[in-house]
A and B are shown apart, each in its own frame.
Chain A
């Protein structure tokens, strides 16, 4: 069984559309994350939830809205997609909070292409 699974793997869409990426983890972890990897491979954290509570909200446009219906799921909804949103989005989870030296478990990524 895949520990952290996200869907879809590829997402091609037009500018202005709204899209969602889903993520689920079956590790029983308390904390989940969304990271964005740009074309130069830099990974930047976007959001983090701990037990369904938002704990990290980086400087991300309001068009991005995370939703955590339970601690095993963290979805990412993006409104009014723009060309600059094209990137690979990674979901990740950790048992606790990274300040305690927890390691992250990553999904395989969603490659978003906005045309």
Chain B
């Protein structure tokens, strides 16, 4: 089973609205990362949050991490049509060895 699972699987919003997606994981982690994948392209790293951090910002992105609940959220504020993509969380965990494990992604559609 996947270490990280995103929720919801799909999200449709209007341009200018905020988009929030969540990631839950099973075992203690070292770090959690968020990636974006545009249709037909490779994944692009967005932001990394370490296990001892609770919140990070990067431009219009805000990531939170709650290690007690084993969950993270990604908030995209003031969304744009160009934000239409799939968003994946990825964890590296002591129990998972030397690898980054991805969830199934949240597909976000931003309508103009």
- Mostly, the B contact residues are strand
A:32-60 near B, CB below 8 Å: 35, 40-45, 48, 55-56
* Segment at the interface with B among A13-21, A68-76, A79-87, A97-105: A97-105
Give the docked Cα–Cα distance between A109 and B40 (Å).
8
Q: How large is the interface on A (under 10, 10 to 19, 20 to 34, 35 or more residues)?
A: 20 to 34
- Docked Cα-Cα span, A55 to B31, in Å, equals 20
Could you tell me how many residues of chain B have their Cβ less than 8 Å away from some Cβ of chain A? 27
Chain A CB within 8 A of B30 CB = yes
Using A42-B2, A43-B88, A108-B41 as known contacts, say yes or no to A103 and B99 having CB atoms under 8 A apart. no
**A40 and B104: CB pair below 8 A?**
yes
Complex Cα distance, B44 from A107, in Å, reads 9
B42 touches A41 (CB 8 A): no
Residue pair B97, A56 in contact (C-beta under 8 Å): yes
- List, in ascending order, chain B residues with CB within 8 A of A43's CB: 43, 88, 102
**Is the pair B43, A90 in contact by a Cβ cutoff of 8 Å?**
yes
Per-residue contact bits, chain B 84-112, to A (CB 8 Å; 1 contact, 0 not): 00101010100001111111110100000
Name A residues whose Cβ lies closer than 8 Å to a Cβ of B: 4, 35, 40-45, 48, 55-56, 90, 92, 97-99, 101, 103-109
Can you list 22 pairs linking A and B with CB atoms under 8 Å apart?
A40-B104, A41-B86, A41-B107, A42-B103, A42-B104, A43-B102, A44-B102, A56-B97, A56-B99, A92-B42, A92-B43, A101-B48, A101-B50, A101-B92, A103-B48, A104-B43, A104-B45, A106-B42, A106-B44, A108-B41, A109-B41, A109-B42
Q: Which B residues form the contact surface with A (CB < 8 A)?
A: 2, 30-31, 33, 35, 40-45, 48, 50, 86, 88, 90, 92, 97-105, 107
Since A41-B107, A42-B102 are in contact, a sample of 14 more A-B pairs with Cβ atoms closer than 8 Å, ordered by chain A residue number, is A41-B86, A42-B103, A42-B105, A43-B43, A43-B88, A45-B99, A90-B43, A97-B98, A98-B92, A101-B92, A103-B48, A104-B43, A108-B40, A109-B40
